[in-house]
Each structure stands twice: as structure tokens, then as C-alpha cells.
Amino acid sequence: MSDWYRDFANSGLGTTITRQLGLPRPAVLRRYEPGQPLLTGPGLVGAAGEGRLRDVVSGVLAAAGVRVDGGTDDERLSAVVLDATGLTGPAQLAAVHELLAPAVRRLGPSARVLVLAEPPADAPTVAQAAARQALEGLVRSVAKELRNGATANLVLVPSDAEAALASPLRFFLSGRSAYVDGQVLTLAAAEVPAGDDPDRPLVGKVAVVTGAARGIGAAIARVMARDGAHVVAVDVPAAGESLAQVANAVGGTAVALDLTAPDAGPRLARQLQARHGGLDVVVHNAGITRDKLLVNMDADRWNAVMAVNLQAQLDVTQALLDADGVLRPGARVVSVSSQSGIAGNRGQTNYAASKAGIIGMVRAWAPEFAARGATINAVAPGFIVTEMTATMPLGTREVGSRINSLQQGGLPVDVAETIAWLAQPGSAGVNGQVVRVCGQSVLGA
């Protein structure tokens, strides 16, 4: 499943050939490993106008041991963080350009551009709303211009949500967000517990991961366990053999359960209560595809996909909410949606509907979760390289994996890192969001 083209393009001969032919040169992305520094080199923190987040940003970076002096002119930058919360109108966007242009020129491999602004919807004037919205176009375009594994993202920080910034800031700067590019995340005010251990942020947490026997779910289990969680790995009884292997590899517990069974939710709730005294994190990852053009789609295909991908998530979540004391304070629910749910996909009316439904679900549930001090979010993977995609015809696979700003498919671990970040206690201010893990795919962008 290795990316032969990326490996070739990065070899000595490959570099020469791809350069001469003007072929894309997908970078080897910097991915997180425990103990890795937040950034590999100096960062630059700038502001357009009277930004209010400079101190928060500098504090987080200093705590992570990052130099924020911008380095010397011949040093490569690892990150540029631009505080645009002080934008007063479109005229000031020029300052953003002025600041970013020289910095982007100096970016090193897998560098980060992160712009912080206030949500357009909160703007007191139309001109301010316009200027804030303009940043979205700017950041998404920068993301497309960046090379060498660098990414650009925009975080909207309402005036009362400053405390929620640290966790997303660390995520977007770190190797955990390797395949998250061109995204806009809106924070909300929340009580953020202090003192996550950056290397073991999930320590002491009980995390349920559905569909954990293989693929992305197995990667989620590994990453959550690495971050300190006790993983309760759920999959259908028929997948029990590999499920047990995953559970044993991560020191977790295997639960063989068909999530579409009528009593799946209560059964899970009872077991979590009895065996673990409740739970902190639910990752709804189990999903199936039954592709057919709409006109050829039979009811079985339609119903099977809806049952697993959407109805089971609704039912299990509701059962956990209903079971007294099972969902512990500060609970996190993360649902795996899909790019198809955003962009639509030929032959996937059922699948795309279910995955779009998930987005509706997390948005609608967000206020209730916020009231409990909990969060619910969705992650929408793009082209992720799995055993499944390995069996696709070469052409389809190559096109599918290259049509994004990072010019390569993502890995299951990229989805897993994003989910594990959303599950962190520090991510309390991220709620009702849909985070795409797609390398800024051109589909549905």
C-alpha cells in the first residue's frame, strides 16, 4: 500500500525527472510521533491590526518550546500564525498579504500556515463580516499554492472562546494534522480543563471505537491507546478474530456486537457501565458501502447502508445519553462522515446520504452536548489509502489520490489523529464541527 509514485518522485532520479517533466512531487508528510517537538524550526507570529490572540498564541508556542522570533532570514520557517482578529475592514487585508507573502516564501517542508480570525457571523459591521469571510478565500487559496507538505487552515475564534484555542492551535501546527488542509474550524466558548499532557492527552479515558477490527477503525484504536485511552474495540461478531488482535495489540477490550441489532445501544451501555464505570469517548467509525446507481439501487442496499452508517449512530448515541451516568462529564462523540457526504459521489446516493446525515446529526446535537460540557463532531475523510483502495483499478486510484493539494492519499492514521485530537479534554471548544481529512480535496471544496 506504499505510495510508489511519491517514493519515486522523492528519490534522486525521480526528483530530476519529475522536475523536468513538471510532474507533481507529493511530499513525504511530517506525521506525529510521541515525543516529537511541536515544530521542527522557528515560527513566526504576526497580527493584522489590533489582534487579541497574540499572547495566547505566544504562550502556547513558548510552552511547547517553539522559538517565535521568526528566525533569521536564511532559516526556514516551520509555521506562520497570523492573528487577524483585529481586522476592521477589507482595506486591512492588504496587511495580511504583506505579512504572509515573505513568510510563505521561507516555509520549510510540512510547514503550517494558520490564520486566526473572528467568525463573520459575529461581525458588528458588514464591512468586517466581508473582511473576515475574505480570509476563507485567502487561506483556501494559499493552501493550494503551498508545496512540500505544507498546509494552511483557518480557525475562527469568537471573542469569548479564547480559552478554547490552545488545543486546536497545537493540533494544526503539529504533525497530527498532516492531511488536514484548507479547512475552516469555528470554536465555541467552553470550559476548558487545564493541563492536558501533550503526549498522553487521553490518559484515564475509556474510548469506544466502532468498526475497530480493521482499516481506519484499527488505526483509531492504536492512536487512542497511544494517547493513553483504554480502548473498547467494537465490531461485528464475524470480525471477531481481527478485532481480538486489535484489542490485544492496544491493551484494550474487544466487544463483538452488530451495531444494527435492536438492543445494541443498551447492551453497550450496560457493558460500559459494568466493566468500565462509564465512558468518555465514542468514535462512530463503523460504516459500509453498497454502491449502485440510484436507478439500479435495490431496497436492501439502501437500507443496509442507512442502518449501519446513520441509524445505528443515532440509536447508540441516544442509548448512551439515556443510560444514567454512563456518558461521563466532558464526553466526546466523534462520527466518521465522508467526503462523499459533502461532495456527493456517483453510485453512492445511499452512502452519501448517510454520511451527510451524520453532519446533520452532529450539528443538531451540538447544543445539547455543550450543555453537558460534552462535544460531538464529525470527521470527513477524503481519499484514505486502505486495503479497500488498494484493490481499486490503478487509474481510478491514482486520480483519486492525487486530486488534492497534498497530491497524495491520506493514511488511516491521519483520520485517527484528527479524531484523537477531537477527543482530548482540551478540545472542549470544538463542537458541532465537521473536520475534513482530505488534503484539501478538490471534491466538494
Partner 1 sequence: MPAQFRKAAIVGGNRIPFARANGAYARAGNQDMLTATLDGLVARFGLQGQTVGEVAAGAVLKHSRDFNLTRESVLGSRLSAATPSYDVQQACGTGLETAVLVANKIALGQIECGIAGGVDTASDAPIAVNEDLRRMLISLGSAKTVQQRLKALSGIRPGQLLPEVPRNVEPRTGLSMGEHAAITAREWEIGREEQDQLALRSHQNLAAAYDRGFFDDLVTPFLGLTRDDNLRPDTSLEKLATLRPVFGAGESATMTAGNSTPLTDGASAVLLASDEWAAAHDLPVLAHLVDAQTAAVDHVHGGEGLLMAPVHAVPVLLARNGLTLQDFDFYEVHEAFASTVLATLRAWENPGYCKERLGLDTPLGPIDRSRLNVHGSSLATGHPFAATGGRIVATLAKTLSEAGPGKRGLISVCAAGGQGVVAVLES
Ligand X SMILES: NC(=O)c1ccc[n+]([C@@H]2O[C@H](COP(=O)([O-])OP(=O)(O)OC[C@H]3O[C@@H](n4cnc5c(N)ncnc54)[C@H](O)[C@@H]3O)[C@@H](O)[C@H]2O)c1
Catalytic positions, written as ranges: 351
Q: Which residue in 85, 110, 167, 260 binds ligand X (CB under 6 A)? A: 260
Cβ-based nearer residue to partner 1, 155 or 219: 219
Cβ-based nearer residue to ligand X, 170 or 402: 402
Q: Which residue in 251, 324, 371, 394 binds partner 1 (CB under 8 A)? A: 251
Subset of residues 333 to 352 that bind ligand X, contact rule: CB under 6 A: 336, 338-339
Strand arrangement of the beta sheet that strand 253-256 belongs to:
253-256, 230-235, 206-210, 279-284, 327-336, 375-381, 434-437
Closest distance of CB 303 from ligand X, Å: 12
Does 116 bind partner 1 (CB under 8 A)? Our answer is no
Cβ-based nearer residue to partner 1, 277 or 325: 277
Q: Quick count: other Cβ atoms within 10 Å of Cβ 93? A: 18
CA 20 – CA 4 distance, rounded (Å): 19
CA 50 – CA 67 distance, rounded (Å): 22
CA 319 – CA 347 distance, rounded (Å): 32
Whether residue 436 contacts residue 339, with contact meaning beta carbons closer than 8 Å, is answered with yes
x-marked contacts with ligand X along 198-227 as a string, rule CB under 6 A: ------------xx-xxxxx----------
CA 357 – CA 309 distance, rounded (Å): 9
Q: Classify strands 206-210 and 279-284 as parallel, antiparallel or unpaired.
A: parallel
Q: Which does 230 bind (CB under 5 to 8 A by kind): partner 1, ligand X, none?
A: partner 1
Q: Which does 130 bind (CB under 5 to 8 A by kind): partner 1, ligand X, none?
A: none
Does 411 bind ligand X (CB under 6 A)? Our answer is no
The DSSP 8-state label assigned to residue 69 in this structure reads B
3-state DSSP assignment of residue 272 = helix
Q: Which does 235 bind (CB under 5 to 8 A by kind): partner 1, ligand X, none?
A: ligand X
3-state DSSP assignment of residue 150 = coil
Whether residue 153 contacts residue 439, with contact meaning beta carbons closer than 8 Å, is answered with no
Does 236 bind ligand X (CB under 6 A)? Our answer is yes
CA 380 – CA 364 distance, rounded (Å): 17
Q: Which does 216 bind (CB under 5 to 8 A by kind): ligand X, partner 1, none?
A: ligand X
Subset of residues 290 to 309 that bind ligand X, contact rule: CB under 6 A: 308
The C-alpha cell at 312 is 445505528
The dihedral region occupied by 434, where left means phi > 0, alpha psi between -120 and 50, and beta the remainder, is beta
- The alpha-helical segments, DSSP class H, found in 227-279 are 240-249, 264-276
Q: Which stretch binds ligand X (CB under 6 A): 69-77, 157-165, 267-275, 280-288?
A: 280-288
Cβ-based nearer residue to ligand X, 68 or 336: 336
Q: Which does 144 bind (CB under 5 to 8 A by kind): partner 1, ligand X, none?
A: none
Does 357 bind ligand X (CB under 6 A)? Our answer is no
Q: Which residue in 144, 147, 276, 363 binds partner 1 (CB under 8 A)? A: 276
Does 330 bind partner 1 (CB under 8 A)? Our answer is no
CA 84 – CA 133 distance, rounded (Å): 11
3-state DSSP assignment of residue 187 = coil
Does 66 bind ligand X (CB under 6 A)? Our answer is no
Q: Which does 429 bind (CB under 5 to 8 A by kind): ligand X, partner 1, none?
A: none
The C-alpha cell at 371 is 450543555
Q: Which residue in 94, 126, 203, 238 binds partner 1 (CB under 8 A)? A: 238
Query: In terms of Cα–Cα distance, which of 192, 130, 188, 194 is closest to 159?
Result: 188
Q: Which stretch binds partner 1 (CB under 8 A): 148-156, 252-260, 382-390, 412-420?
A: 252-260
Whether residue 312 contacts residue 288, with contact meaning beta carbons closer than 8 Å, is answered with no
The residues of the shown chain that bind ligand X, judged by CB under 6 A, are 210-211, 213-217, 234-236, 239, 258-260, 285-288, 308, 336, 338-339, 381, 383-384, 386, 388-389
| Sites of contact with partner 1 (CB under 8 A) | 230, 233, 237-241, 243-245, 247-248, 251-258, 261, 274-277
